[in-house]
Structure 1
Amino acid sequence: MKNVAHQLAPAKSKFHKIDHIAIAVRDLEEGIDFFVNVLGFELKRKRTITGQRSGMLSAEIEHNGIKFVLCQGTDPQSQVSRLIDNFGPGVAHIALAVDSAEAASQQMALQGLQFDTSVIHGAGLRQVFSTRDKNSGLSFEFIERNGEEGFLEENVNELFAQLEKSGAY
């Protein structure tokens, strides 16, 4: 029997664009070299984020409004390392720009989408992350920006805390 939520008429989604695509990599420097020196992207920013139990090295790469965030785990138990162990390197999530992360999560939940996090609130930035789809392997982030163009360390730490609590990747 099909899930009743999937039988509802699809709501008109208010996705504006792909904000970014997060890519889990085994080696950040090798990933940067490929995107910058082979594909011609520009390195915008590198970060080291350390949480209570999980850490991440990241690089924001951009070209003509196309944004990738390369992510490498800092230790074998970090979220990114566990994601790679379970699914291999590649797309960690696709972030879709929305007017309201809260409204998008409510709307998508009515359509049957499940979430690994609640809405994460930061200064000028709200995000919510879906459960990985079993068929495509994709996870989606619905991101609402109100002045923040980058990413906030406190948001990433809250993301890791929620994922660790739920056991999700």
Structure 2
Amino acid sequence: MKLDAEIERLDKVLARLQPPVTGRVRVVWWKAGEKRSAANRPALVRWVRQGERWRTSRLGLKSLVQKAPKTGAFFHVKDEIREAVRELSVLLNKRSAVVEAIGHFERGMLTFAEAGEELLRESRVRIDALEDRAAMLPCTWRDGQQVGTQEMYVSEEDQALFDSL
């Protein structure tokens, strides 16, 4: 998706603006737990150093700008970080809406396809019956050309009724 490319660009901007210290925010791509159109989902996380290891805490989509780092090593670039996080917030929310819409579309198409299969099954039964009836009638047309005449069968009762008129 084009949204993903822009999200990645903003992550590179954040990487360039922030020093590698506790509190920096970056985009991490989480593997989706459910089958959707997008295999991975981006999320804004805060990196925290605990001893020798780095850990992340996922930041929710609400009020991301307020969660951007502002003090310490980030003080001189806080405005740029806030602007990048604001843009990122818009893109993440839009992407979430798009993925949700795609999921609704896929589920709707599946339902539509299942209904179509039922319609095809019913149609096949009717066509089979029509083919069987057509096979019992004498064939007078072949490839658009008349090859004989067809005598119409009329029961004796119907013929008697017709003659009485």
- TM-score past 0.5 threshold: no
Q: Which has the higher strand share?
A: 1
Q: Which has the higher helix share?
A: 2
Structure 1 length as normaliser, TM-score?
0.22
Higher CA-based Rg: 2
Structure 2 length as normaliser, TM-score?
0.23
Q: Which has the higher contact order (CA 8 A, sep 6+)?
A: 1
